[in-house]
Amino acid sequence: MGLRRKARAYFLLTKPQVIELLLVTTAPTMIFAAKGWPSPLLILATMLGGALAAGGAGAFNCYIDREADRLMRRTERRPLVTGEVTDRQALVFAWLLSIVSVVFLTLAVNPLAGGLALLAILLYVVFYSIILKRRTAQNIVWGGIAGCMPVFIGWAAVENTLSWSAVVLFLVVFLWTPPHYWPLSMKYAEDYQRAGIPMLGAIASAKAVSVQVVLYAWATVICSLLLIPVGGAGWVYGLTALVSGAWFIFQCHRLHRLALEEQATSRTAMVVFHASITYLTLLFIALAVDPFVGGAVL
């Protein structure tokens, strides 16, 4: 195997698409916490350390899920399934990335950021991948806590502490995770059934899933608006939260309506999946822009 192909295989072990989504929340949180631009070196160090931590957790997840991945079409091209990386190589790589990320964040950012990164890795690898994923349909709800940790890490990097504003942003990502992931599990329901993983979209009807998606979407948008009274967010964030949130809720209600009419398909479910990514991206872009515009919503 060529060096380039081997390097690509290791890169894919880190689940780069997940890292990208996590980092979308980190930099805007840092900017909002600083009420302006933090040090560019601090942003770079935090983003790099966060990417290494997420990559290490992703590699651990690929190792833990390697047998299930062989049974699912969605994951049949992962490096451990194709044999491009051996089990031992993947495990060593996961440990290396995880250790380096925690040490790097501790030394280059601050000990709180490093400790939160360690907690995020443990939550994703142990709490979600090992304990919850195969035992409950609520796996992605509580396991999603790990995906909220970049908000805490970003805030801690700037303030060296946490605040209620950070908690609100944490809860936004926490509540957003189910309506983001459950539509995806609807599309790949047969894969999860084949692998014996009880994702809600694989074991419940489209009607039942769509109800949960709608409820969590409403909770997400309502929670996002709490940053106005709690964190002093201005009109840019407030207006974006309202408009993009209304659009996201509309897409979720549309899925529910189609499910009630028994016309929901994997394609309509994926519309909500992609809408959830767009919504979160717009929300955090507004979070980053807001400190530079100023002015309260009310």
Write the pLDDT tens digit of every residue in 234-292.
Answer: 999 999 999 999 999 999 999 999 999 988 888 899 999 999 999 999 999 999 999 99
Taking residue 251's Cβ as centre, other Cβ atoms within 10 Å add up to: 23
pLDDT in tens, 145-188: 999 999 999 999 999 999 999 999 999 999 999 999 999 999 99
1 confidence band (pLDDT: 50, 70, 90): low
| 72 vs 154, more confident | 154
Whether the predicted pLDDT of 295 surpasses 70: no
Gap between the Cα atoms of 270 and 261, Å rounded: 18
pLDDT of residue 294: 61
Render pLDDT for 210-227 as a digit per residue (tens, 0 to 9): 999 999 999 999 999 999
What percent of the chain is predicted at pLDDT more than 90?
81
Q: What is the mean pLDDT of the chain?
A: 93
Q: pLDDT at residue 110 above 90?
A: yes
DSSP per residue, 6-45: HHHHHHHHT-HHHHHHHHHHHHHHHHHHHTS---HHHHHH
Q: How far apart are CA 19 and CA 21, in angstroms?
A: 5
Q: Which domains does the chain have, with CATH numbers?
A: 8-162 (1.10.357.140), 163-298 (1.20.120)
Predicted confidence at residue 264, as pLDDT, reads 83
Tokens of 106: 């501790």
Q: Which of 166, 133, 163, 128 is nearest to 147 (CA)?
A: 128
Task: Judge contact between 211 and 179, C-beta under 8 A.
Answer: no
Residue 297 in this model has a pLDDT that exceeds 80: no
For a pLDDT cut of 70, what percent of the chain falls above it?
A: 98
Q: Concatenated DSSP letters for the chain?
A: --HHHHHHHHHHHT-HHHHHHHHHHHHHHHHHHHTS---HHHHHHHHHHHHHHHHHHHHHHHHHTHHHHTT-GGGTTSHHHHTSS-HHHHHHHHHHHHHHHHHHHHHHT-HHHHHHHHHHHHIIIIIIIIIITTT-TTHHHHHTHHHHHHHHHHHHHHHSS--HHHHHHHHHHHHHHHHHHHHHHHHTHHHHHHHT---HHHHS-HHHHHHHHHHHHHHHHHHHHTHHHHH--BHHHHHHHHHHHHHHHHHHHHHHHHHHTT---HHHHHHHHHHHHHHHHHHHHHHHHHHHH--B--
As a whole number of angstroms, the distance between CA 179 and CA 278 comes to 13
Residue range 129-147: mean pLDDT, rounded: 90
- pLDDT, position 241: 97
pLDDT in tens, 3-48: 888 999 999 999 988 888 888 899 999 999 999 999 999 999 999 9
pTM: 0.92
Q: With beta carbons less than 8 A apart as the criterion, state whether 212 and 182 touch.
A: yes
Residue type, 14: T
- Token pair belonging to 195: 């692998």
